[in-house]
């Protein structure tokens, strides 16, 4: 079975827009150096969160398991990348081997979490995954001999590509590299969706008992979904750490990151790969590009200041996200771009 033509056109349109953004931004910066706003740098986080949300989409969107601990696997990937690349450790791998190893370590972490929790469903599973996320933060803080505690692991090297400088002053190479990684992840998720495990996940989401009666190994398929989702979350964490040249402190991978990934999946459309991409562009692009641009314009005109907590648009983010979720659940619970058949089952919860 193939994805609908409309979905494919949306994906190609998103890719074309993503490729066109850096030249447009460069031209804008050249035409108006004083007033132009560089949005290529902030858009890198759109790509990272899209990878994270695609991992959650496998667990929650495809399989129907409510997971509130994806930030923990992102932290596992970030710290694995830091330990494997930083000069204070003996490994000192380059970007690509470290990225692959981080994904493998994230897969193992997903299996370790999935093994004892497969008998749980719904709210009980959500509570366990939420607790796992908090435990990972505490472990990373307390193992300061290995993880450097609240300081995080730094400095971390960037990728090495001949002819391109990956540093904090030049966002464009990072943008195109991460766009390429996202394209590979989307292709992998698309193939996985229509593979035998993917069809088994969708059957489990619709009716777990019926799937079990049809001979689908439910526990094994759930474990596979956990592992695949954790691997993508670990890749997102490694991408974030490489871009920031630091893992950051463990508190950077808190419950809010998991909720933000869940919001992206819900707004875009649970189970829809294209919907997740649209959700990431809408939510992270709004928070990291549009709100800072609005705040900058208002501050330039003297209408708001950093000291004005309520008047600064940068502080409206979570309020607006909450309102968007309420409106989505009320008027379009299936999301902006639901997968085929999801509109008829919009009333079902995972």
CA distance 67 to 90: 35
Looking at the chain, the whole-number percentage of residues with pLDDT higher than 90 is 64
Most confident of 6-20, 174-188, 323-337: 174-188
Query: Range with the lowest mean pLDDT among 15-29, 73-87, 136-150?
Result: 15-29
Q: Looking at per-residue confidence, does 327 or 347 come out higher?
A: 327
Q: What is the pLDDT of residue 255?
A: 94
DSSP structural state of residue 338: P
Question: Residue 145 pLDDT more than 50?
Answer: yes
Q: What is the pLDDT of residue 288?
A: 87
Q: Looking at per-residue confidence, does 60 or 302 come out higher?
A: 60
Q: Looking at per-residue confidence, does 240 or 315 come out higher?
A: 240
- Which whole number is the average pLDDT over 226-249? 97
> What is the separation of C-alpha 120 from the centre of its chain, rounded to a whole number of angstroms?
24
Tally of CB atoms within 10 A around 146 = 13
- Which whole number is the average pLDDT over 129-142? 95
Look at residue 167 and give its three-state secondary structure: strand
Question: Residue 342 pLDDT more than 60?
Answer: no
CA distance 220 to 162: 43
Model's pTM, two decimal places? 0.92
Question: Residue 264 pLDDT more than 80?
Answer: yes
CA distance 160 to 170: 14
Q: What is the pLDDT of residue 304?
A: 72
Q: What is the mean pLDDT of the chain?
A: 89
Question: Residue 2 pLDDT more than 50?
Answer: no
Residues 6+ apart with CB under 8 A from 47: 175, 178, 179, 181, 182, 239
Whether 28 and 236 have beta carbons less than 8 Å apart is answered as no
* Of 67, 1, 47, 2, nearest in space to 225 by CA: 67
Domains parsed from the chain with CATH numbers: 39-345 (1.10.3470)
């Amino acid at each position: 079975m193939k994805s609908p033509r409309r979905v494919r056109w949306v994906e190609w349109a998103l890719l074309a827009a993503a490729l066109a953004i850096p030249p447009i931004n460069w031209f804008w910066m050249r035409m108006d150096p004083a007033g132009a706003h560089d949005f290529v740098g902030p858009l890198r986080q759109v790509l990272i969160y899209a990878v994270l949300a695609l991992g959650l989409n496998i667990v929650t969107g495809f399989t129907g398991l409510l997971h509130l601990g994806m930030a923990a696997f992102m932290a596992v990937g970030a710290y694995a990348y830091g330990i494997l690349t930083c000069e204070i450790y003996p490994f000192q791998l380059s970007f690509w081997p470290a990225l692959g190893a981080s994904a493998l370590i994230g897969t193992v972490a997903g299996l370790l979490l999935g093994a004892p929790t497969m008998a749980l469903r719904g709210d009980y599973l959500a509570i366990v995954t939420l607790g796992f996320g908090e435990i990972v933060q505490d472990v990373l803080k307390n193992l300061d001999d290995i993880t450097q505690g609240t300081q995080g692991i730094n400095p971390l090297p960037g990728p090495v590509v001949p002819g391109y400088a990956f540093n904090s002053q030049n966002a464009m190479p990072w943008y195109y590299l991460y766009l390429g990684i996202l394209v590979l992840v989307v292709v992998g998720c698309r193939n996985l969706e229509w593979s035998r495990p993917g069809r088994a996940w969708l059957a489990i989401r619709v009716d777990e008992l019926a799937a079990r009666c049809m001979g689908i190994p439910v526990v094994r398929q759930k474990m596979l979904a956990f592992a695949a989702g954790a691997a993508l979350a670990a890749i997102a964490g490694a991408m974030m750490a490489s871009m920031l040249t630091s893992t950051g402190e463990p508190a950077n991978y808190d419950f809010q990151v998991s909720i933000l990934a869940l919001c992206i999946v819900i707004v875009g459309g649970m189970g829809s790969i294209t919907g997740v991409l649209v959700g990431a562009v809408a939510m992270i692009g709004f928070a990291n590009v549009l709100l800072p641009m609005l705040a900058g314009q208002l501050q330039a005109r003297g209408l708001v200041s950093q000291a004005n907590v309520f008047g600064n648009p940068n502080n409206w983010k979570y309020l607006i996200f909450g309102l968007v979720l309420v409106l989505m659940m009320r008027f379009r619970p299936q999301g902006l771009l639901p997968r085929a058949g999801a509109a008829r089952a919009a009333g079902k919860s995972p």
